Amino acid sequence: MFWFSPALIINHNFSVMDSIKTSCLAFKRNIIPFFVFFIIIGLVSIASIPLYFGFILMPMIFPASYYTTYRVVFFEESNNTSTSFQDNNP
């Protein structure tokens, strides 16, 4: 639920409480895609354990997936189901 809070604080100068509220709102509005995403990431993590492949693969997948979900939820234009984010800070 607090997946996007660090990015909102760093990139958009949100306060801690505002970033938590916005992150929770984004999670609530996109709950089904997030569950599918976390299930897929969990399965990939478990599947990569044999032969220690996960130690090589997962550090590359997690930052890429974090940034991709952040951009899709807050900046990509789509239907009315996604959270649109406008940077109102000067």
Higher-confidence residue of 85 and 75: namely 75
Count Cβ atoms below 10 Å from residue 25 Cβ, excluding itself.
Answer: 13
- Whether this model's pTM surpasses 0.85: no
10-49 per-position pLDDT tens digit? 989 999 999 999 999 999 999 998 999 889 888 888 887 7
| Res 9 pLDDT > 90 | yes
57-73 per-position pLDDT tens digit? 788 888 888 888 888 88
| Domain range annotation of the chain | 5-74
